[in-house]
Amino acid sequence: MVVDTSKFKKSLSYERNPNKIYANSFSTVRREGKIERFDLSIQPLVTRIIHACGMIEVADRLSFSENIGRKGFEALSNGSTVICDCEMVASGIIRRNLPAENDVVVTINDLLVPEKAKLIKNTRSAAAVELWEPFIKDSVVAIGNAPTALFHLLELIDLGFPRPACILGFPVGFVGAAESKAELANDSRDCEYITLRGRRGGSAMAAAAVNALAAGLPEEIV
């Protein structure tokens, strides 16, 4: 369908160029968030996370390991699997920017999950984590929904579960979100990590973190 814009009673004034929208958005984030205070390897992560939620103030609530930016990109470049706790995180990943055509895995809808949740007496999100074992060694894990997924991942690592290369911890909510992220920040189990302290988080932030590790900020180049 081709829209005849001449029939509009009034043409609204707004930026229509996608490249300029991205560039101006990231420029605003850099300026208002004072992104230059962060190490260069972290700046794309902080910028994309803020851009995903529209909240400059989250820059002051991020907690991360020193090498998350470098090690995350290295893992993806080496073909590591990206594991997501929910479909919304997976949907937000820009697949064309993944450096090695990386697999993206989500197990929450696996038919084994409901019964496994009953068996372990935990949520379906936690049960889905137990199905990550074939993929998780040296993977990039992006959690943007359930605190129980992050809690149970840490529990399983303590029990000898293979370690991912990176944990991008952005569960959201009023029960367990702040606590699960505090646990990750306090003891990342020798995994590189980034997380947002407090209740805020979500799939958009988790996906943004993956996109930042994969390709940085190519949209800044207009």
70: domain CATH number is 3.40.50.10230
The reply to whether 9 falls in a domain is no
The reply to whether 6 falls in a domain is no
Confidence tier at 218 by pLDDT (50, 70, 90): confident
User: What pLDDT, on the 0 to 100 scale, is given for residue 4?
Assistant: 67
The reply to whether 11 falls in a domain is no
User: What pLDDT, on the 0 to 100 scale, is given for residue 10?
Assistant: 73
For 121, other C-beta atoms within 10 Å of its C-beta total 8
Q: What's the structural domain count of the chain?
A: 1
**Dist CA 64 CA 5 (whole Å):** 48
- Burial classification of residue 169, based on how many CB atoms lie within 10 Å of its CB (0-12 exposed, 13-18 middle, 19 or more buried): buried
Provide the residue range defining the domain that includes 89. 17-220
Q: Which residues are CB-contacts of 42 (< 8 A; sequence separation ≥ 6)?
A: 64, 68, 69
DSSP 8-state secondary structure symbol assigned to residue 184: H
Confidence tier at 222 by pLDDT (50, 70, 90): very low
The reply to whether 4 falls in a domain is no
The reply to whether 7 falls in a domain is no
The reply to whether 1 falls in a domain is no
56-75: b (≥16 Cβ within 10 Å) or e: eebbeebbbbeebbebbbbb
The reply to whether 56 falls in a domain is yes
The reply to whether 8 falls in a domain is no
Average pLDDT of the segment spanning 103-132: 98
Note the pTM of the prediction, 2 decimals: 0.92
Q: Which residues are CB-contacts of 4 (< 8 A; sequence separation ≥ 6)?
A: none
Indicate which residue of 35, 42, 48, 51 is catalytic. Answer: 51
152 is catalytic: no
